[in-house]
Chain A
Amino acid sequence: MLQLSREELLQAYRRMKTIREFEERLHVEFGNGEFPGFVHLYAGEEASAVGVCQQLKEDVDYIASTHRGHGHSIAKGCDVDAMMLEIFGKQGGLCKGKGGSMHIADLDKGMMGANGIVGGGPPLVCGAALSAKHLKTGGVAIAFVGDGGSNQGTTFEAMNLAAVWKLPAIFIFENNGYAESTASSWSVASGDIAKRADAFGMPGKIVNGHDFFAVYEAAKEAIDRAREGEGPSLLEFKLNRYYGHFEGDAQTYRGKDEVKRLRQEKDCLKLFRSRVTETQLLDERQFAEIDDEVTGLIENAVMKAKAAPYPTAAELHTDVYVSY
């Protein structure tokens, strides 16, 4: 169970559960027509975001995310109420309702944004890592990339640049098996994305992305290496998403009962609970308390989002420039 304290285990579970509840609830509310837009849910992948981000510092460490950015935002400490308001397009949203689900971000928390462009994040992460190196903050910068983004030229360029400049950057590929509707087993010519690390002269590792502890351990090694000035690493997390590419995706490309089986057999939250209760570090009662607490938190966030007003017309024209 590594060296994690009870408090850290509880925090990890709370964050994973918060992401799960947030996403499950969005699925319902979107289905009810409560908010519009392109929405990509992270449910099923929670161990990745939390296993990595729990080890990051709010002020000096940066992450950049993908289309599927809610989980990374919550894991990096973004305010859940403000996130819900943002996704509903309401006043008080994390980005004043101007970004929405696909651009959710909070630079004050080192969260450089979900990104509407596949492969948009990795070059930006090189920049954040360059800032950390140049300003000697001790920070690291992490690009979360999907299996789809793994095939983008920007990703290759960024990995090469990070290695050439020996940046404190980490490239984490969340391989959930599908880029939109296309199987990664078909679209990733190398089979495993991790094999590509060799090509850029950095260590690469395949990790069971359903296993919080495996994720935590692999991320720790890469983060330590980056902080010590030894350069970038690549991690490939094999995991799965429970929903479609976007909300409204009929997912006819998936196998029969695929998601049902994943929920039963590979669920990262169930796995976490059983691993931790086996060791008697925490008991079921403590998990149940967190479940209740999180349900209330999300219910409250949804109620606030539904009640909140939309942005005023004046907001259309602000925040384009610092000055113009």
Chain B
Amino acid sequence: MARKLSFRNAVNEALALEMERDSRVIVMGEDVSGGTGSPGETDAWGGPFGVTKGLSKRFPDQVLDTPISESGFIGAAVGAAASGLRPVAELMFVDFMGVCFDQIFNQAAKFRYMFGGKATTPVVIRCMIGGGYRAAAQHSQILYSVFTHIPGLKCAVPSSPYEAKGLLIQAIREDDPVMFFEHKMLYDVEEEVPEGAYTIPFGEANLLREGKDVTIVALGRMVMLAMQAADALAKDKITCDVIDPRTTSPLDVDTILDSVENTGRLVVVDESHPRCSMATDIAALVAQEAFDALKAPIQMVTAPHTPVPFSPALEDLYLPSADKISAAVRKIRQKAAA
């Protein structure tokens, strides 16, 4: 019987397989081992969510705890990548980009271009994204669109354990800097995951479900919600294509356009704020390239233009949901029928 693995353990397994394959792959970050220098046990944490638990025992020379100095160690990961290693640095929460963004967007992203093609910077920066954990405004953001904006970076947003393992192994083998966004509410999700190493190429979207009425494009945890919405809609004989782009940079525009050519309707689901987001980006691309195919206005299901609230009552309102996605689909479905 096929083996099931949680998203958390899929990430852990990908890191272990790659560290085993290549001693130049090192994992670094705050508490990625945990307990370094303390009187109690080492490998105390494995990151705040236990994602890297056990790795420091198996790979003591390749797993490095750091001080809480994001600029320092993210920059060190970038410098190490430019000088022969293949580091996977954990930024912990993407929200912490505020204290180290320079090393990512001015240094890592631009080396190759500024240095006339001589630099190769194979660094992966893992970080947690997303709301639902009641973690409030500074530990719940999405922010991948900020990185997607920057030439020189690649951005992967896995939506399931299988996707996480394949995309992370691919990320580590990429010769360009990769931002890897793990939604914290997915860590306990389980599905069948092959045991050995496998890769999922960047820039190839996953068409999870085929339908004829509406195209739903969703990212990260939103893919699961989009599938739930599509299930519910199918009961009312509304069928949807559900597309997971997997990576926002590069972005597989063709798969989205092909789908919209067939359905004539698009709903983009993005847990980000509505402005300058992947939702607006994909909507703009479709408006530019497939305007004639559209039978109804493009709909965006996003979080509002507010920080992420703490109170469960407010955060539930803040986040997109399967119901909100269904409502958006029904709205343009009805509009076209009218």
Task: Mark A residues whose CB is within 8 Å of B.
Answer: 62, 64, 93-99, 103, 105-108, 112-113, 115-117, 120, 122-128, 130-132, 134-135, 137, 141, 153-154, 157-158, 160-161, 164-165, 318-324
Interface 1/0 per residue, B170-190 and A, CB below 8 Å = 000011100000000000000
Extra contacts, 10 of them, besides A99-B116, A134-B80 (Cβ < 8 A), are: A64-B79, A115-B107, A117-B107, A123-B74, A123-B103, A131-B84, A154-B71, A161-B66, A319-B112, A319-B116
Interface 1/0 per residue, B21-54 and A, CB below 8 Å = 0001010000000000000000000000000000
Given contacts A123-B72, A160-B69, A164-B67, contact A112 B82 (CB under 8 A): yes
Say yes or no: A127 contacts B77, CB within 8 Å. yes
Given contacts A124-B82, A135-B85, contact A107 B76 (CB under 8 A): no
CB distance from A282 to the nearest CB of B (A): 36
A105 to B81, CA, bound (A): 16
Residues on the A chain within 8 Å of B175, using CB: 322-323
Interface residues of B in 88-147 (CB under 8 A from A): 102-103, 106-107, 110-120
A34 to B75, CA, bound (A): 35
Say yes or no: A322 contacts B176, CB within 8 Å. yes
Task: Mark B residues whose CB is within 8 Å of A.
Answer: 24, 26, 61, 64, 66-67, 69, 71-85, 87, 102-103, 106-107, 110-120, 151-152, 154, 174-176, 203, 250
Given contacts A130-B76, A131-B84, A321-B112, contact A96 B69 (CB under 8 A): no
CB distance from A63 to the nearest CB of B (A): 11
Say yes or no: A320 contacts B120, CB within 8 Å. no
Residues on the B chain within 8 Å of A131, using CB: 79-80, 83-85
A251 to B298, CA, bound (A): 56
For A128, give its contact among B80, B116, B117 (CB under 8 Å): B80
Residues on the A chain within 8 Å of B66, using CB: 161, 164
CB distance from A253 to the nearest CB of B (A): 27
CB distance from B2 to the nearest CB of A (A): 32
Say yes or no: B116 contacts A161, CB within 8 Å. no
Say yes or no: B114 contacts A98, CB within 8 Å. yes
Given contacts A108-B118, A322-B176, contact A98 B113 (CB under 8 A): yes
For A134, give its contact among B77, B85, B112 (CB under 8 Å): B85
Shortest Cβ distance from A153 into B: residue: B71
Given contacts A62-B83, A127-B83, A128-B82, contact A161 B115 (CB under 8 A): no
Shortest Cβ distance from B177 into A: residue: A321
CB distance from B44 to the nearest CB of A (A): 17
Say yes or no: A107 contacts B115, CB within 8 Å. yes
Residues on the B chain within 8 Å of A165, using CB: 64
Given contacts A94-B116, A160-B69, A320-B152, contact A113 B79 (CB under 8 A): no
CB distance from A113 to the nearest CB of B (A): 7
- A–B Cβ pairs within 8 angstroms, 22 of them: A62-B83, A93-B116, A95-B114, A95-B118, A96-B117, A113-B111, A123-B72, A123-B73, A124-B75, A124-B79, A126-B72, A126-B79, A127-B83, A131-B83, A135-B24, A137-B84, A154-B75, A157-B71, A158-B72, A160-B67, A322-B112, A322-B120
Say yes or no: A158 contacts B76, CB within 8 Å. yes
Given contacts A107-B118, A113-B114, A321-B112, contact A161 B72 (CB under 8 A): yes
